[in-house]
Structure 1
Amino acid sequence: MIGKLKLLNEAETGPFISTLRQRKSPTILGFLNQHGYNIAQRHASVRDSFMHVDHLLRDGIGIKIACLFNGREPKANLNGSDFIPRLIEELVSGSGDNHELFAMGTREPWLSEGARSLFGDRDFHAIDGFKSSEEYLEFYRKHHVPGRYPIIVLAMGMPKQEQVALYLQNEMETPALLICGGAILDFAAERFPRAPLLFRRFGLEWAFRMLIEPRRLFKRYAVGIPLFFYYLSRSLLARPRHISSASRSGKRQATSYK
């Protein structure tokens, strides 16, 4: 799954946003963090969802380590909390009425407050994050104006948001952008505070979040981080056996041709 990541440095983010602006079909943008990696290791259906996301960006120090384990340069940390507001602003600014904005996720009052913060003074349509995929499609169709380009922020958490995004993508014909944003609406509404800059600079935002939400996040990090390293180690240990097996197979084939 690490091979699926689109790894970018800061200089490459501008051209990447331009690519998203020129999309010709429904496009999904997602983010992979340590928590998502763990879920994908336990559930094949979740892994499949991530593999079908069009653009999967690196989020957090855990996936930086996973990249290094897999011999890939991690490049920039493009976490959704920082990248999504910038992306939306660059896509929508100066576009007139070409876009329409949707927020799908969390609950009120953070849903509306987060959407207003994320979208500024622009009009938007919002629905909470506890509906079925079919209800989100019905909501989209009810509010979509033909000729406009939808930007849909899905903030339902993993893996539901990726699954809903794939369902919507399969049912849409408009070149929409579907953004899997995790807790982006809650952060935008200031329901949860962002970690101080020092924590973020050293990749410790997860530790700050666990301190302020221990009941909800203790298992995700205190248990999830050791489990994450177990999955990485398992992958690393499996690789030489595969290479060795292939090498032996090649030698047998070479012998048979003599």
Structure 2
Amino acid sequence: MNDFAKTWRPNLIAGEKVVSIAPKPAAPAIRIVGAPVSLVTMERVLSIFDSWVGSGRDRIVLLRDVHGAMKARRERNVAIAQENADLVLPDGMPFVWMARLAGKSPISRVCGIDLLPAACRYGVERKWRHFFYGASPAVLETLSKRLNELYPGIEIVGTLSPPFRPLTTAENADHIAQIRAAKPDFVWVSLSTPKQDLWMNEHNGKLGGVTMVGVGAAFDINAGDIPRAPLWMQKSGLEWVYRLMCEPRRLWKRYAVTIPAFVVLGTQELVWRRFGFEPRTKPPLA
């Protein structure tokens, strides 16, 4: 299994432990509400990406927000996908605040909306090859056009818009074949959380040595189909409020349940660390 090793990783499902085939972490991490959040900055992530290109091994990069972390506490398959990631990036500011309060640094927010264009810009001189998987054909077309305009010389070697339903075995095999034939360095996956986490975990080791990055709504936002929160809201950790205002029917229940639970669990962890104890994993709140 090369440098993979069977390891027991703590899960938060009724006190169980999950067996996973987990890679050696690409960066130091801190457990925040169970999620192994990587202690990184945008610059550090790009440097790690550069070291991975041409390695011949598939890599998984998760962008972790509060919703994803709480989902992993409740669902075993999501927890396993999270544990198998090479990097778990702090997509939400709460992870950055909690890591800093715990005395961990350097760390800054690395969200998919920003990481996608940053990697595209950084990769032009390095001839990085990009494949976009997810969203609608129209969004993919607009996104590709915009990125080509912003970063002349960018190598977009393929796009694929999967149907909004489970793939058949034949369809999945065809998608794998298309990606492998394009020989990308990066496969950017925009399927929402946790669907994209599960897709990347399922396809790990099948795509011919690519870095898979799950970026959520980054395709739609960078294509201009979905507006983004003002900069002051992004920096103050209130981007979720803006998204809630834009999509109240879809998001109100998610935030009403996950945010209070996250705050309670996160506060408990900070208290434990304040007294010199590393928090132990606990069952989710009822």
Counterpart check, 1:144 vs 2:180: yes
Separation in 1, partners of 2:145, 2:50: 24
Partner amino acid, structure 2, of 1:182: G
- CA deviation map 1:88-135 (0-9, x unaligned): 33234452xx73x32221224223323443465744222236253643
Spell out the pairing of 1:177-196 with structure 2 (5 A cutoff).
177-196=211-230
Give me the whole-angstrom Cα distance separating, in 2, the residues matched to 1:126 and 1:153: 10
Cα distance change on mapping 1:64 and 1:144 into 2, 3 Å: same
Query: 1:252 maps to what in 2?
Result: none
Match of 1:132 in 2: 166
Structure 2 equivalent of residue 220 of structure 1: 254
Q: 2:265 is matched by which residue type in structure 1?
A: Y
Amino acid at match of 2:247: E
Residues 123 and 17 of structure 1: CA distance in aligned 2, closer, same or farther (over 3 Å): closer
Greater Rg by CA:
1
SS of the residue 1:130 aligns to: coil
Q: CA deviation at 1:66?
A: 3.8
Q: CA RMSD in A?
A: 3.1
Residue pair 1:40, 1:47 contacting (<8 A) in 2 also: yes
Question: Relative to 1, partners in 2 of residues 1:176 and 1:10: Cα closer, same or farther, differing over 3 Å?
Answer: closer
Change (3 A) 1:145 1:11: closer
8 Å CA contact 1:34, 1:60 repeated in 2 = yes
Q: 1:110 aligns with which of 125, 130, 139?
A: 139
Query: Is residue 237 of structure 2 the alignment partner of residue 203 of structure 1?
Result: yes
CA distance 1:119–1:139, shift in 2 (3 Å): farther
TM-score, length-scaled by structure 2: 0.71
- CA offset at residue 142 of structure 1? 3.3
Write the letter of the residue equivalent to 2:118. R
Q: Look up the SS of the partner of 1:109 in the other structure.
A: helix
Q: Report deviation, 1:140.
A: 2.9
Deviates more, 1:136-145 or 1:45-54: 136-145
For the residues of structure 2 that align with 1:38 and 1:143, how far apart are their CA atoms? 31
1:32–1:58 CA contact under 8 A, matched in 2 = yes
Could you tell me whether the CA contact under 8 Å between 1:17 and 1:91 is conserved in 2?
Answer: no
Higher helix share: 1
Please list every run of at least 4 consecutive aligned residues from structure 1 whose deviation after the TM superposition is greater than 4 angstroms: 68-71, 118-121, 233-240
- Deviations 1:142-168 (Å, cap 9, x if unpaired)? 35337x334211110111111111111
Cα offset for 1:223? 2.9
On the 8 A contact 2:77/2:198 being kept in 1, the answer is no
Cα pair 1:81 1:187 within 8 Å, conserved: yes
Q: Quick one: percent identity of the two aligned structures? A: 24
Matched-pair contact (CA < 8 Å) for 1:38–1:228: yes
Structure whose residues are more often strand by fraction: 2
**Structure 1, unaligned runs of 5 or more:** 245-258
Give the alignment of 1:1-258 within 5 angstroms. 1-2=31-32, 4-9=36-41, 12-68=44-100, 72-73=104-105, 75-95=107-127, 99=129, 101-118=130-147, 122-128=156-162, 130-132=164-166, 134=169, 135-142=171-178, 144-145=180-181, 148-172=183-207, 174-233=208-267
Partner amino acid, structure 2, of 1:104: Y
Question: Number of residue pairs matched?
Answer: 239
* Equivalent AA in structure 2 for residue 221 of structure 1: Y
Q: Deviations over 1:192-240 (max 9, x none)?
A: 1011111112121111111121111212223321121133245567889
Unaligned runs of 5+ in 2: 1-30, 279-286
Greater shift in the superposed pair: 22-31 or 11-20 = 11-20
TM-score by length of 1: 0.78
